[in-house]
Amino acid sequence: MRKTFKGYIPGFSVMRIGELPYFIKWFILGIVIGIVAGLSALTFYFTLKLMEYIFMLKLVGYEIPEPLGEGGSLNYVFHAERIWLIPLSTMLGGLLSGLIVYTWAPEAEGHGTDAAINAFHRLQGRIRRRIPPIKLIASAITIGSGGSAGREGPTAQLSAGIGSMIADLFSLEPEDRRIAVAVGIGAGIGSIFKAPIGGALLAAEILYKRDFETEVIFPALIASAVGYVIFGSVVGFTPIFGYYMGTFNPARLPLYVVLGVVDGLMAILYVRTFYSVHDAFKRWRVSNYVKPVIGGAVTGLIGLLTPEVLGTSYGWLNLVEFNRVDAFVSPIIALPPLIILAMLPFLKIITTSFSIGSGGSGGVFALA
């Protein structure tokens, strides 16, 4: 009877997983990472929904619109029973998130993607085991309380940390551990964003400014597909923003060129604003526990003017896609919906920069 040791698999008595041929090794590890990433994405998703229920629904009395792929409706009508409590909610979320992060795992502050990439390049893929649960809880509180942030970044760091753990479990070499971390990034994003191919390609290219980690593509495709199946089996396989039922019109192609230019310029503004706010908070000589509270206060005050900036804003984006601009409101100042829509890209950049740049925990990968 063959004996199985740590880092070995049944049927291989003298060969560790790390010594198997590339495709066999990463087919096995891709499935393992994908399973854990899918389950982690589900855990984070439902923890986030719980926090939204506690902070937004029960405290503020505000039901955030959901995208179609997550049970949302195009018949949404804004209503908030205690809208004046929005700043309290975002400040409380910043306080709790800061206490959790800076007490147990300061690496979990911010959007998480940078920390995962840093682990890939400088730490041989090593991520402390306490990071995934801390990131999960802190990010769910930040976003669920109204903080302007995405959920893909936290899921990426969560799954990257799990990839590092799996690498240690199977006694992989540092190079393989680095790949496992990158695969975890792709599997996490591919699962929760319901885009397995996109997650896999992002895992290979996000690690560099001008390069591509080709060895990551195959295992990332396996892991992302497995994670997506697990996540979709519970929450449904409908794309987050529903299905586009219109017909393709080639005459619109020039408009996409214009859109690409505008998006590129907005991306530059977004990155520069975010890191300017982030660096300003880093230089500020006040307690790290206080900074996320201040960031939450700024976000909450803007949220009083335009509640559309709170949370991920996916539901609001979905309403715009289906021409429900009339659903947009400014409860404090009666602004026309088109004015609100024009302001939102800039307000979203500001609120995300303060929510996450101040030390809160959340993502900046996909924001409406």
Residue 153 has pLDDT above 60, yes or no: yes
- For residue 100, CA distances in Å to 31, 42, 95, 134, 226 come to 32, 21, 9, 7, 31
For position 345, what pLDDT does the model report? 93
pLDDT in tens, 59-93: 999 999 999 999 999 999 999 999 999 999 999 99
Give Cα 349 to chain centroid, integer Å.
Answer: 16
Under 8 Å between Cβ of 339 and 323 = no
pLDDT in tens, 198-245: 999 998 998 887 888 999 999 999 999 999 999 999 999 999 998 888
Distance CA 35, CA 46 (A): 17
Which residues touch 189 (CB under 8 Å, ≥6 apart)?
A: 152, 155, 156, 195, 198, 199, 202, 203, 224, 365
pTM: 0.90
Residue 366: name the closest of 207, 143, 216 by CA.
143
pLDDT in tens, 286-336: 999 999 999 999 999 999 999 999 999 999 999 999 999 999 999 988 889
Residue 272 has pLDDT above 80, yes or no: yes
Distance CA 292, CA 109 (A): 10
Distance CA 49, CA 43 (A): 10
If one counts every other C-beta atom within 10 angstroms of the C-beta of residue 3, the result is 7
Which domains, and CATH codes, for the chain?
17-242+250-357 (1.10.3080.10)
| Amino acid identity for residue 354 in this structure | F
pLDDT in tens, 291-305: 999 999 999 999 999
Distance CA 182, CA 156 (A): 9
Which residues touch 310 (CB under 8 Å, ≥6 apart)?
A: 56, 64, 86, 90, 146, 147, 148, 299, 303, 351
Q: Locate tokens 């809160």: which residue? A: 360
Which tokens sit at 22? 């590339």
Over the chain, what is the mean pLDDT? 90
If one counts every other C-beta atom within 10 angstroms of the C-beta of residue 346, the result is 13
Name the pLDDT band for 258 (thresholds 50, 70, 90).
very high
Q: Locate tokens 């300003």: which residue? A: 280
Under 8 Å between Cβ of 170 and 17 = yes
Q: Locate tokens 């100042």: which residue? A: 333
Name the pLDDT band for 1 (thresholds 50, 70, 90).
very low
